[in-house]
Structure 1
């Protein structure tokens, strides 16, 4: 069973779109939180991640980071096991 994936995003953010696209292509369901539509969520994101930029991606309690971090984990073969996609 995989951990829930949460991605903090905003409108007109290409890195957010790329992160959503990568996760969707892997068949991963995620909960998207738009910090531009819910300003209170930005503070929560900043507290959880220690960062102010979007996207910020969490798999369970693990903070992946932004899109570049997500893509690096995928290239290194560390993303699929974290997502529970082993054997894919």
Structure 2
């Protein structure tokens, strides 16, 4: 998880592997762009326009009256950002969608500067936050994440979304 107390170094080409300084600068700048976006948004989702689980996650968050800032990784100017997000979070899942297995890195969700993961992890985190006896709900590190779900939530919002098989 990436957070205020985390030390994360930007991914980059290995030294001596033919990487030039301009490429390394682009990666560092892109890493800084990612860190800035995570820091400025209580909820941030890296997404693609065609990802069904990104839409499910957005709908799930709307049940809580929450908006999640979205960065579309399938836009031309965000391709390197997608690679950096994947390298930093190490989130890769094989999704079964329309009869095909596909390697996906989205949705990739951060809440209160902590990496949550994908859609299924989002559901699991919310459920654990709701269970006041769970380790996550009692861990100070996740206090802001659990507060994110409970603050200003409409009555009965918790637990309304259902897990979708093979989620991201």
Q: TM-score, normalised by structure 1?
A: 0.79
Q: Is 2:64–2:152's contact at 8 Å kept on the other side of the alignment?
A: no
Aligned to 1:85: 150
Of 58, 74, 85, the residue aligned with 1:20 is 58
Q: Is 2:65–2:152's contact at 8 Å kept on the other side of the alignment?
A: no
Aligned to 1:67: 119
What residue ranges of structure 1 are gaps of 5+ in the alignment? none
Deviant stretches of 4+, over 3 Å? none
Aligned to 2:23: none
The 1-side partners of 2:81 and 2:54 are apart by: 16
What residue ranges of structure 2 are gaps of 5+ in the alignment? 1-40, 93-104, 131-136, 154-168
Deviations 1:41-68 (A, max 9, x none): 2023113311241101001321100000
Which protein is bigger by CA-based radius of gyration?
A: 2
Of stretches 55-64 and 69-78 in structure 1, the one that deviates more from structure 2 is: 69-78
Of 90, 93, 103, the residue aligned with 1:50 is 90
1:29 corresponds to 2:67:
yes
User: What is the number of equivalent residue pairs in this alignment?
Assistant: 86
Of stretches 70-79 and 10-19 in structure 1, the one that deviates more from structure 2 is: 70-79
How far has the Cα of 1:69 moved from its partner? 0.3
Between 1 and 2, higher relative CO (CA 8 Å, sep ≥ 6) is seen in 1
Q: TM-score, normalised by structure 2?
A: 0.45
The 2-side partners of 1:86 and 1:66 are apart by: 22
The root-mean-square deviation of aligned C-alpha atoms, in Å, is 2.3
